[in-house]
Chains A and B, each alone.
Chain A
Amino acid sequence: MAEIRVSHVDKIYGATKALDDVSIDFADGEFYGLLGPSGSGKTTLLRTVAGFISADRGSVVIGGEPMEQVPVEKREIGMVFQNYALFPNMDVTANIGFGLRVRKLSGQEISRRVADVLDLVQLGELGARRPHQLSGGQRQRVALARAIVTQPRVLLLDEPLGALDKALRVEMQVELKRIQREVGITTIFVTHDQEEALTLSDHIGILKDGRLVQQGTPQEVYHRPADRFAACFLGDANIFDGGRLPSGEGGGSVAVRPESMWISMARPEDAAVIALQATLRQKIFKGATVTCLLDWHGQVIKVLAKGDELAGIADVGEVWVSWPREKSMRIPADR
Chain B
Amino acid sequence: MAMNRILMRLGRVYLGLILVFLYVPIMVMAAMSFNASEFYQLPIVFTTDWYARLWNNSAILDAAWNSIWIASVTTIIATALGTAAAIAFFRYDFRGKAILQVLLFPPIAIPWLITGTAMLIFFFAIGIGRGSRAVLLGHVALALPYVIVVVTARLRTFDPQLEEAARSLGASSWEVTRFVTLPWIAPGVTAGALFAFAVSFDQFVVSYFLSKPGDVTLPVLIYSAIRKGFTPEINAVSTIIIVFSMAMMVVVARYAKFGER
Contact = CB atoms under 8 A, between A and B. Distances in A.
Chain B interface bracket (under 10, 10 to 19, 20 to 34, 35 or more): 10 to 19
Contact of B165 (A74, A76, A87, A150): A87
A87 B172 contact: no
Contacts of A74: 170
Contacts of B56: none
Nearest to A52: B164
Secondary structure type dominating chain B contacts: helix
B167 A72 contact: yes
Contacts of B184: 88-89
Interface in B95-120: none
B19 to A, nearest CB: 38
Interface in A91-123: 98-99, 101-103
A139 B255 CA distance: 29
Nearest to B158: A88
A146 B172 CA distance: 17
B165 A81 contact: yes
Nearest to B176: A73
Interface in B164-186: 164-172, 175, 179-180, 183-184
B4 interface: no
B84 interface: no
Given A85-B159, A89-B183, A78 B172 contact: no
Interface string B26-67: 000000000000000000000000000000000000000000
A206 interface: no
Given A88-B184, A89-B183, A73 B161 contact: no
A79 interface: yes
A77 interface: yes
A217 interface: no
Contacts of B171: 73, 98-99, 102
A150 B162 contact: no
A73 B170 contact: yes
Given A85-B159, A89-B184, A98 B164 contact: no
Interface of A: 50, 52, 71-74, 76-79, 81, 83, 85-89, 98-99, 101-103, 146-147, 150, 156
